[in-house]
């Protein structure tokens, strides 16, 4: 056994069906009584339903302007509302954008967070915050942004669209794949990474045909949690750097960008990460002789997800700028970061080519 360091992140996790009913108990457990509920514009009704269930004695307001990449100006507006209402905690109901807003508020106010994920994005289990200002997305680690309570309610994922199901699921897989070869990789997160990849790779094809399959939804949500714990415990590499650079700079969907880029970043690193690739292949359940990169590409394409940057809003003339942004503050990566090779990677991803 090789020496390793493992830092466990403190969090209370509640997983099951109908668990959203436990929000009031968790607010009380935190010693709070004035929750500000957060949602995106598309989930206002869900937020209003939660607000009504908590009643005015627990829910003091609803902020429903969470959007992609957590713009600083939106966060400042939400902070001002929280302070005006004297909120003593936030309850984030939604996907990565809403959870990101809750974390950004916590960074500025130290308010405790209860998060209720409705996708497989995985931000809820990390102490990482990404936020955008003046068209540039930056990330930082701080225990101030780690949510205190995560409530996973499988029933809330039953209405996910096919596209969101597959792309947020592959977004989660990306956390686990990079965790297997990140600088801080260790045998404990490896186990979680493999389990997360296996659950999601098994569930996503089922859900593409049967979106209401509760067993598959449960597997996918559990897999997303396992993958997000990996992302929260170890560092990131080239894949996340490119996704942050492209998504934040060009305002592309976070999950779509992860889905399109992952096969190509895996192929880029594969010659330097063979032990990790063996684990990925084993848990993807792909045919013998198919590489990890191709297996991930096929998982996306065969189940209705986008697989080309040009199809999610990226412009070909922006590829070089994307590489330059990614190289400004690179994350540690097993393969050397070479500009021309990274540009070739993005060109393949732009065209949607199956990795060689």
Please tell me the distance from the alpha carbon of residue 354 to that of residue 296, in angstroms, as a whole number.
Answer: 10
| 2 vs 74 pLDDT, higher one | 74
Residue-range definition of the domain harbouring residue 184: 162-351
Handedness of CA 147, 150, 155, 157 (dihedral sign): positive
145 and 56 assigned to the same domain: yes
- What's the length of the chain? 356
Helix (H, G, I), strand (E, B) or coil at 152: strand
Question: C-alpha angle 177/240/179, rounded to 5°?
Answer: 30
**Model pTM score:** 0.94
Helix (H, G, I), strand (E, B) or coil at 184: coil
Provide the domain count of the chain.
Answer: 2
92 and 150 assigned to the same domain: yes
Across the range 231-242, mean pLDDT stands at: 92
pLDDT tens-place string over residues 96-116: 999 999 999 999 999 999 999
Specify if 2 maps to a domain.
no
277 and 203 assigned to the same domain: yes
121 and 204 assigned to the same domain: no
The two structure tokens encoding residue 103 = 């974390």
Position 309 pLDDT exceeds 90: yes
126 and 254 assigned to the same domain: no
- The pairing of beta strand 113-117 with beta strand 12-16: unpaired
The two structure tokens encoding residue 317 = 């003339």
Judge contact between 220 and 207, C-beta under 8 A: yes
170 and 54 assigned to the same domain: no
Reported as a pLDDT band with limits 50, 70 and 90, residue 125 is very high
Across the range 179-183, mean pLDDT stands at: 94
168 and 143 assigned to the same domain: no
For the chain, percent of residues with pLDDT exceeding 90: 89
129 and 198 assigned to the same domain: no
Candidates 93, 94, 45, 276; CA nearest to 181 is 276
């Amino acid at each position: 056994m090789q020496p390793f360091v493992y830092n466990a992140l403190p969090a209370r996790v509640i997983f099951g069906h109908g668990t959203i009913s436990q929000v009031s108990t968790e607010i009380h457990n935190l010693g709070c009584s004035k929750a500000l509920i957060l949602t995106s514009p598309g989930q206002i009704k869900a937020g209003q339903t939660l607000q009504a269930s908590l009643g005015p004695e627990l829910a003091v307001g609803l902020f429903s302007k969470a959007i992609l990449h957590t713009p600083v100006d939106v966060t400042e507006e939400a902070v001002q509302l929280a302070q005006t209402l004297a909120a003593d905690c936030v309850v984030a109901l939604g996907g990565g954008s809403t959870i990101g807003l809750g974390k950004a508020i916590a960074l500025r106010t130290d308010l405790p967070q209860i998060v209720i994920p409705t996708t497989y994005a995985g931000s809820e289990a990390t102490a990482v915050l990404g936020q955008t200002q003046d068209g540039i997305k930056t990330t930082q680690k701080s225990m101030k942004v780690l949510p205190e309570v995560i409530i996973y309610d499988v029933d809330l994922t039953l209405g996910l669209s096919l596209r969101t199901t597959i792309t947020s699921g592959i977004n989660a897989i990306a956390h686990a794949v990079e965790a297997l070869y990140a600088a801080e990789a260790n045998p404990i997160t490896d186990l979680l990474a493999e389990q997360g990849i296996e659950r999601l790779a098994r569930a996503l094809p089922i859900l593409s045909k049967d979106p209401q399959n509760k067993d598959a939804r449960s597997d996918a949500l559990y897999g997303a949690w396992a993958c997000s714990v990996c992302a929260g415990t170890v560092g990131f590499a080239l894949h996340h750097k490119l996704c942050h650079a492209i998504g934040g700079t060009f305002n592309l969907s976070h999950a779509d960008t992860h889905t399109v880029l992952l096969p190509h970043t895996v192929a880029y690193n594969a010659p330097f990460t063979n032990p990790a690739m063996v684990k990925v292949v084993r848990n993807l359940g792909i045919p013998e002789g198919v590489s990890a990169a191709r297996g991930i590409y096929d998982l996306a394409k065969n189940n209705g997800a986008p697989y080309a940057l040009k199809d999610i809003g990226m412009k070909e003339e922006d590829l070089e700028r994307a590489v330059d942004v990614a190289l400004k503050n690179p994350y540690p990566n097993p393969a050397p970061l070479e500009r021309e090779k990274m540009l070739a990677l993005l060109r393949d991803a732009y065209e949607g080519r199956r990795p060689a």
